[in-house]
Amino acid sequence: MSNQQEENKTEDMPYGLLISAAYNSQKNAAILKFYEPVSQRIFLWADKSGHKPYCYSKLSPDEIPTEISERDDVIDIKQVKLMDVLNDKLIDVSKILVKDPLAIGGTQTSKSIRNLIDTWESDIKYYESYLYDSSLIVGKYYKIENDAVVPYDLEISDETKLSLKSMLLDKQSDTNLPDPKQFDEHVSQWANLLNQPIPKIKRISLDIEVESEIGRIPDPKIAEKRITAVGFEGSDGLKQVFVLRKSGIEEGVNELLPGVKIVFYEETKEKEMILDTFELMKKYPLLITYNGDGFDLPYLYNRASRLGIDRQKNPLYMMRDSATLTDGVHLDLYRTMSNRAFQIYAFGQKYSDFSLNSVSKGLLGEEKIDYGVELNDLTLYQTANYCQNDARLTYNLTAFNNDLLMNLLIVISRIARMPIDDISRMGVSQWIRSLLYYEHRQNGILIPRRQELDNRSSNV
């Protein structure tokens, strides 16, 4: 756990919005990420319940192969009863508990049990499994008391209560409901959840520029070219850009927008510029990028490593197909805006392709800066303006229309029971699947395998 995690770890938290979750391999525990609106910081809480990764098998405990049952990473195999909704009956299944999520799935080798026998619920990310089992809803408020997570509801307005009553609860007399009381409870729970106030989340956008050759895009995995500029725009009014000087490149004329602060670094000080970038990122709980998963963040991460920057000073964490912050949350708006649900239904198809320029033009009425020359031929101030403008556009995509996109992401997280960063990267079918998984777990129902559903539908 990093120093910042230690600082933000708290025995008691007045209340905070659960916005994300992760798995900490060092602690072998799920980590919850709460946004505390008063301090505007992320608070991290590690599970203390002893919850472990698991999957199910329809083999009895005695039938589980010894190559599985005798493994060191298998904690226990016990028989439990779950509802098989495809056959409408309770069945006995073996619950295989393990020490490490990779022992369930995530590899192509025999390390993962799902590669050895038929298993159920072995394709669910561990932190999602933890959220479902713990009845935790992303986007809901919680407080931490005596090192335990406790639900906390903010009061909704009397006007909202009256509207809900007139629109929903008073209408049930017109319907033939089998259980009106249960209907009341469900409607009230959903209405209260969806009407909880959403705080303005402190955040910063980031965009980087890198030396490049004409016709060749720098490889973020190798990160051999220097980072020439880093632009920022913050919800607290921060407007800043770091620029690396380069011999033979003129400083040029300052064309930056009013209020933008520029910091120049000598040509040999790229390492210091990256370290300053990391320190600035750590001050914000939420990082916004445009294609940060595919370029900006892996490039920063690998460039820092190439320059010998201590891993402990690097706030980034790389995953297989995305990037995040160890002590925060990262949203890649390229993946969000590529989602047809946002493009068509939320934003009325105001953009036709998913480039920053097209999306900004459609939603903001603004465009990227085009100087009509190659990026390597720009003056230092032109590079600064180009880079900071991209960061500004990226931030404004989350801020226009009273933080519309941020509010949408939180509301969808509440419905889908999914971390906000996953919501921003995944499609509608995955949102619905997550909600169904949550409901199955809440009601003791075995989640069917895809093949079972395909077989069932083919016989209809």
CATH of domain 203-403: 3.30.420.10
Q: Where are the domains of the chain?
A: 3-47+134-151, 54-126, 203-403
CB 388 within 8 A of CB 260: yes
**Structure tokens given for 250:** 């003129």
CATH 1.10.3470 fits 3-47+134-151, yes or no: no
- Residue 394: predicted pLDDT: 99
Average pLDDT, the chain: 92
- Residue 185: predicted pLDDT: 80
Q: Model-level pTM?
A: 0.92
Place of tokens 């369930």: 104
CB 403 within 8 A of CB 314: no
> What DSSP assignment string belongs to 232-282?
EEETTS-EEEEEE--TT-------PPTT-EEEEE-TT-HHHHHHHHHHHHT
Spatial strand order of the sheet with 227-234 comes to 261-265, 239-244, 227-234, 203-210, 286-289, 329-332
What is the C-alpha to C-alpha distance for residues 349 and 352, in angstroms, rounded to an integer?
7
CB 73 within 8 A of CB 58: no
- Residue 6: predicted pLDDT: 45
- Residue 173: predicted pLDDT: 55
> What DSSP assignment string belongs to 204-238?
EEEEEEE--BTTBPPPTTT--SPEEEEEEEETTS-
Q: Which amino acid is at 379?
A: T
Q: Provide the CB-side half-sphere exposure for 275 (13 A, CA).
A: 12
Residues 6 or more apart in contact with residue 460 via CB below 8 angstroms: none
- Residue 191: predicted pLDDT: 85
- Residue 399: predicted pLDDT: 98
Q: Which residues of the chain, if any, have pLDDT below 50?
A: 1-8, 10
Q: What is the pLDDT of residues 348-361, one digit of tens each?
A: 999 999 999 999 99
Classify residue 160 by its DSSP letter: H
